[in-house]
Amino acid sequence: MKYRAGVRRKSESVTDARKLLVVEDSKTFSKALHKLLSDEIGLPVIACASLNELHEVVTEEPDVYGIAVVDLNLPDAPDGEAIDFTVQRGIPTIVFTGSFDVQTRARIMERDVIDYVLKNNEFALETLVTAVKRALTNRDTRILVVDDMTVARKHLARMLAIQQYSVIEAGSGAEALSLLAANPDVQIVISDYNMPDINGYELTRKIRRMLAPDKVRVIGVSSTNDLAVSAGFLKAGANDFISRPFMPEELQCRIANNADTLLQLRQLQELAARDHLTGLFNRRHFFENGPELMKSVQARPVSAVAILDIDNFKQINDTHGHGVGDQALELVARCLADSVKGTGNLLARLGGEEFAILFPGMDPAAAMRFCDHIRLDISHAAVQVGAERLSVTASIGVAEADAADSFDHCLRAADQALYVAKQQGRNRVCLAAA
């Protein structure tokens, strides 16, 4: 799957103007890496084989490179000069090296590089591509670092920034809770244990009262040799613990693992909330989130809800088969999704040929006009069945959705309006009686 910010379907293009830079003198490695990066990530790849070529391409386009993959030893840069060049110009850099020992590691880690990957294994190229993907994805991961010791906090924040994470800092537990409330996009909290106002255990417990582990991961840190500290963090609800002083590779892997776990949990939740055929939200998601969405609209407490049903759907299935019926469902789902995109309205497939839309803060008359546009869009579309174009129409019932009333009652009113639309000849929108 190609690189994505957040969750992106495989068919969607990468909306990213950056390029990837490969600096490698081995034609075999360079060619293979160029293809893998192009195929897997989808960003333009510029390759060069020497420090001299690197100078030229970066001078021509100094601000377009999102990541550089740089060989440690080049013919005209035997001591990592190419790495220094990219790092000094602010290009996030991953090192690719064929030789590795204690001294080589020290040479690499003294520079502000994201990571290093060894060439001498069969998975080298795949590992390198994964490292590039991780660096690009990290930019969408916000981390809150909590420590009352400024030097220690700044050091950790800098290490994370080199890894391309978005970092914010708090000097106390109270400030951390305030920042967490003000920044709902924080995904990981890294907290020291010893703080004057709220220690790491209590801060973790307070975070857990606010946010579950599938919303925010908590990692405890401490420089103590007391093994009970790590257990205390985990018992308080933390997901991980890292001892100071940090081993950069361990810090990188642990944070990446927590970020991956959070992404996987969110992807599972997304799958559980989606209808497998149409990709729309399902009945469960609609009923779980609809009432809260209605209540969240403070300025205009009146909302509207609509129930849509495909006309003569059983006849479509009986005459043309369930495959064509599925095509009709997908066609209607696309029309609905295009109509509500960017509106803040909640759309779902309730089951069978029935769909629902919640219009938070929209009065029923406006919702009825909105639905009539949807009805027209559907009627102008068609399913291709061999040489025949099969027209599809839909009937829609609209009702007021008052936050003070039960959600089920609002939907029943819309369903009754849908029944009236069917009785009046189908392919129309009806409003429930007040």
Q: List, by residue number, the catalytic residues.
A: 353
DSSP labels for 2-18?
Answer: ---SSS--TTSPP----
How far CA 69 is from CA of 32, 38, 98, 324, in Å, comes to 13, 13, 13, 49
For 229, the token pair is 């500290």
Q: How many CB atoms lie within 10 A of CB 348?
A: 25
Peptide bond before 245: cis, by omega within 30 degrees of 0?
Answer: yes
How far CA 291 is from CA of 16, 101, 385, in Å, comes to 37, 60, 40
- Say how far apart CA 349 and CA 329 lie, in whole Å: 9
Nearest to 185 by CA among 142, 121, 154, 225: 142
- Say how far apart CA 139 and CA 132 lie, in whole Å: 12
How far CA 185 is from CA of 140, 160, 212, 216, in Å, comes to 9, 17, 14, 9
| Residue 321 C-alpha from the chain's centroid | 37
Write 113-119 long-range contacts (CB < 8 A, 24+): 113/83, 113/87, 113/162, 114/67, 114/162, 114/163, 114/164, 115/252, 116/72, 119/29
